[in-house]
Structure 1
Amino acid sequence: MSKVQTVLDSNIIELLKGETIVNLITINSETKRPELTVVSWVLATEDGKQIKIAVGHKGSSINNIQADPFVTLGIIGPESCYSVAGQASVSDIHTGTMKYRVITVDVEEVEDVMFYGGKLTVLPKYEKTYDPQLAKKLDDEVYQLLSSKE
């Protein structure tokens, strides 16, 4: 993907069906400086036009998006790094095992931003360091929420 696209390609959509580390960049509502948050509860729509992200209901990104809806997502893989720019909206609070909000990003631009001559050969991996049963319960709950058509 060498030129700017307006939707996610199928490889990125597939990558964003699992727990993937994604960088969410918003503009801090107070300082007006870029703010980076790392998220992993992420799901792209099948048409590649939206990305849904679940976050805790008090996350700083919520206030930032409500003040300025323009966001950039940094996606690592497949084989490259991508910048996804768009406008985001924030849902009401969803209550489950914990309280969540869903950030929905309407994709406007997708650009391959890997340096010339570089190619990723391994995707980043992470490990959850809390109760595995609670992690599974939260993951199941969140992905059901992200998959809903609301």
Structure 2
Amino acid sequence: MAKTADRLNERLVASLQGEKIVQLITMDKDTNLPNLSAVSWLLADPSGKTVNIAMGPKAASVENIRHNPHVVLGFFADGSYYALSGTASVSDTFERTMKLCVVTVEAEAVEDAIFYGGQVTVEPAYIKTYNPELAKKLDEEVYELLRQ
């Protein structure tokens, strides 16, 4: 049986400091079926108890969380794959270059979810395919917001 903790350990916190593909699973507000989205603007708190995620306020995941706050974050880190289960809340909308809100996930359980005998040797990587100056500006605004 996998070992479960109530917070992210130091290595996992370090791995969740943005620019990482993380799967966010919510429950669809209309169908009550699982809904998966990928996010990358995120920061884990040093305490390991919360993860802040920046999203557009009209995102389906945001609407789902407003109806059912139970979520799971899935992510590669430390040679494995982890599932963080928790309760999420959504902030007010912030006006920046684009409208944003902060989804705060309170960790309730963190579990190493890799299959028996599995080890991740390479984590997924991505590039931003839009205007580099705009990407830099958005990143600066988002991470300033997430640190508040």
Match of 1:122 in 2: 122
Give SS of 1:109's match: strand
Matched with 1:47 is: 47
| Partner Cα separation in structure 2 for residue 103 and residue 38 of structure 1 | 14
Q: List runs of 5+ in structure 2 lacking aligned partners.
A: none
Structure 1 runs of 4+ with >6 Å offset = none
Q: 5 Å matches for 1:25-104? A: 25-104=25-104
Please say if 1:131 is aligned against 2:131. Answer: yes
Determine the structure 2 residue equivalent to 1:22.
Answer: 22
1:16-41 CA deviation, whole Å, 9 max, x = no partner?
11311000000000011000010000
Aligned equivalents of 1:90 and 1:126: distance in 2? 26
In structure 2, distance between residues paired with 1:17 and 1:83: 16
Aligned equivalents of 1:11 and 1:21: distance in 2? 16
| Normalised TM-score (structure 1) | 0.96
Please report how far the alpha carbon of residue 62 of structure 1 lies from its aligned counterpart in structure 2 after TM superposition: 1.0
Q: Determine the C-alpha separation between the residues in 1 that align with 2:65 and 2:54.
A: 14
TM-score with structure 2 length normalisation? 0.97
Amino acid at match of 1:97: T
In 2: Cα distance, 1:48 partner to 1:67 partner: 25
**Partner of 2:141 in structure 1?**
141
- The CA distance in 2 between the partners of 1:105 and 1:17, in whole Å, is 14
The two structures, once aligned, show a CA RMSD in angstroms of 0.7
Task: Determine the C-alpha separation between the residues in 1 that align with 2:134 and 2:97.
Answer: 9
One-letter amino acid of the structure 2 residue matched with residue 3 of structure 1: K
2:124 alignment partner, SS class:
coil
CA displacement 1:101-135 (0-9 Å, x = unmatched)? 10000000000000111111111110101000100
* Maintained 8 Å contact 1:78/1:123: no
Query: Which runs of no fewer than 5 residues in structure 1 stay unpaired?
Result: none
How far apart are residue 60 of structure 1 and its match? 0.5
Distance 2:57 2:63 in 1: 10
Write the letter of the residue equivalent to 1:49. K
Deviation, structure 1 residue 76: 1.2
